[in-house]
Structure 1
Amino acid sequence: MLKHADIWAAIDALARDHGLTASALARKAGLDPTTFNKSKRITREGKPRWPSTESVAKVLEATGATMTAFVGYIEDMAQPQHPANTIPLVGFAQAGDRGFFDDAGYPVGGGWDEIPFPEIGDPHAYALEVSGDSMEPLYRDGDVVIVSPAAGVRRGDRVVVRTTDGEVMVKQLVRQTAKRIELASLNPEHPGRSLAAEEVAWIARILWSSQ
């Protein structure tokens, strides 16, 4: 079955293969640079949003890619990216490194550590190992959280957020609009955050923790 996440991931892969970020691809296609931002991939109600056929047509024209090639990207994205019973294990330091994730927040490349985990319906899901005390008492140093980039996020969800500057944080989503993302801290000794949408590289929902 065709999924929203596969279409968006295909756009990201198309951009990457042309040496572009998703924002640069949108700009090259004559679209608003934020057209393919992660925040634009869901509605305000937290439901997945399809990219418009017009935007897809424009990026194909801008890159010279054919529709057949784009469908190939979609089919590639629909394939499991790792063995069915294991998922990539990412450290916080790696999560802040641009080379380990694409613009949509999907882990890329190889050489990952892996851990066994039951199938959860998202081939791009990964485990993130918590470091430091900024998420205490909910998440402690060494805890592992399972993150799903494809899952829609809603108010009250615990999420992993990566800023365009490479900062990675685990927070609770308070409010998300087209312009701002409001986050509450899990540790009362650390402040919440209010970020402009363009400051957020990606935001992904936490489905499970090892506690």
Structure 2
Amino acid sequence: MKTNREVVELVKKLTEEQNMSMSELSRRVGIAKSAISRYFNGTRELPLNKIGDFASVLHTTPDYLLGIEYEPPTPQGLKIPVLGTVAAGIPISAVEDILDYEEVPQSWESQGEFFALKIKGDSMEPKIDDGDVVIVRQQSDANSGDTVIALVNGDDATCKKLQKTENGIMLVSTNPNYLPMFFTNEEIVTKPVVILGKVVELRSKF
């Protein structure tokens, strides 16, 4: 917060910038010109109860004149559940196997529904390790090259790279010890193979 002298100097500066004479300032604020002169030369302090009048006339705010700064409120993020398993036929929102919660930006709220999944196994090493958490946007399709969460034959959800072909799709591990899983267009329907969402962020655990 500014001292009285600093407030007066700011009032003087704004008055000059707005090409306002002391007489005009006196008339608009409703204070005698002689009193304003004493404020300006430092022989009298500017009363705090007059700050609002000066602020209004000078097209600013009392807080600005006084140098009061407020910390902007910290935006609250969205809490999304970290799931351990996802079973076939159960909507994500109904899964009760919640291990924890992760926070994502509030701005994501307009981009769809999100959940997090704790990774099991080493098939996506070296980038994604056992125990890491991935943030997933729920969607039933994705592009080739996307990392997705998929359900195969009703088993637990698996994290893989998606590759599309004319005849079907491949779910590819980044760990070379695991062979790609290929599914024909027919198998996608009959097994079934269901994409639950696209991985949009990795949160490694140390």
Q: TM-score, normalised by structure 1?
A: 0.50
Q: Distance in 2 between matches of 1:184 and 1:174?
A: 7
Q: Which has the larger radius of gyration?
A: 2
Per the alignment, residue 107 of structure 1 pairs with: 93
Q: 1:107 to 1:162 in 2, by over 3 A?
A: farther
For the residue of structure 2 that corresponds to 1:107, the secondary structure is helix
The size of the alignment, in residue pairs, is 121
Per the alignment, residue 98 of structure 1 pairs with: 88
Per the alignment, residue 127 of structure 2 pairs with: 138
- Residues 86 and 118 in structure 1, CA contact (< 8 A), matched pair in contact too: no
What stretches of structure 1 of length at least 5 have no aligned partner?
1-82
Query: CA offset at residue 88 of structure 1?
Result: 1.0
- Residues 153 and 193 in structure 2, CA contact (< 8 A), matched pair in contact too: yes
Aligned residue identity for 2:193: V
Q: 1:205 aligns with which of 183, 195, 198?
A: 198
- Residues 127 and 144 in structure 1, CA contact (< 8 A), matched pair in contact too: yes
Residues 9-158 of structure 1 mapped to structure 2, 5 A cutoff: 85-91=78-84, 94-95=85-86, 97-98=87-88, 101-102=90-91, 106-110=92-96, 112=98, 113-119=100-106, 120=108, 121-150=110-139, 152-158=141-147
What stretches of structure 2 of length at least 5 have no aligned partner?
1-75
Query: CA offset at residue 180 of structure 1?
Result: 2.1
Q: 1:152 to 1:162 in 2, by over 3 A?
A: closer
Query: CA offset at residue 197 of structure 1?
Result: 1.4
- Residues 133 and 202 in structure 2, CA contact (< 8 A), matched pair in contact too: yes
Query: CA offset at residue 184 of structure 1?
Result: 1.7
Instruction: Summarize deviations over 1:80-101 as a string: whole Å, max 9, x none.
Output: xxx962001101xx22x336x3
Task: Confirm or deny that 1:185 pairs with 2:173.
Answer: yes
Q: TM-score, normalised by structure 2?
A: 0.51
Instruction: Summarize deviations over 1:114-143 as a string: whole Å, max 9, x none.
Output: 222223234521011112212211210121
Percent identity of paired positions between Structure 1 and Structure 2: 26
- Residues 88 and 151 in structure 2, CA contact (< 8 A), matched pair in contact too: no
Select the structure with the greater relative contact order (CA < 8 A; seq sep ≥ 6). Answer: 1
Q: Distance in 2 between matches of 1:90 and 1:111?
A: 6
